Amino acid sequence: MTDYVGLDIHKKYCHATAMDESGDILFREKFSSEPEEFENLTARVGDDAEVAIEAAYAWQYVYEQLEDKVGEVKLAHPKRTRIITDERIKTDARASEALAQLMRTGWLPKLGFRRRRSECCRRSSGVERIWSGRELDSKTRLVPS
């Protein structure tokens, strides 16, 4: 059974809402943007979860934290997610719930991005990954998928 997670991302914290296939909310939580907290989130939702994040501040860091730990991570087009931007009362909980709902229904306006060849460089020990390929250069653009 697939869980759908919406993440509202901020510099120091994130707000997550997880829901099941029928749209019932499994949990809502606010957590710091530390790697251990993303580990806790992925442990709660499982490795087949689908996660939606808005392509805004710090999306690259969050994408890197989640891409190998969940089934799918999708970037939401920030200007096309009108369900969030048109709300009269905007809160982190509502934004993350809207992202999860859009992901669940298949209506999430997605963005794609190009990856550089050097994205998976490894240190000489071969154990730690170096984050080097998610940043965008001036010729790379996020485009609607």
Residues of the chain with pLDDT under 70: 83, 85, 113-145
Domain coordinates in residue numbering, the chain: 4-144
This prediction's pTM: 0.75
pLDDT score for 9: 92
Q: What is the pLDDT of residue 111?
A: 77
Rounded to the nearest 10 degrees, the angle between the axes of helix 59-66 and helix 35-45 is 50
Bridge partners (DSSP) of residue 52 are 6, 74
Asked if 95 and 15 count as a contact pair (C-beta separation under 8 A), the reply is yes
Termini Cα distance of the chain: 26
Phi, psi of 16 (to 5 degrees): -115, 140
How far apart (Å, rounded) are the C-alpha atoms in residues 60 and 28? 22
The dihedrals phi and psi of 112, each to the nearest 5 degrees, come to -115, 160
Residue 64 near residue 70, CB atoms below 8 Å: no
Q: What are phi and psi of 49, to 5 degrees?
A: -70, 150
The CATH number given to 4-144 is: 3.30.420.140
Predicted pLDDT at 116: 54
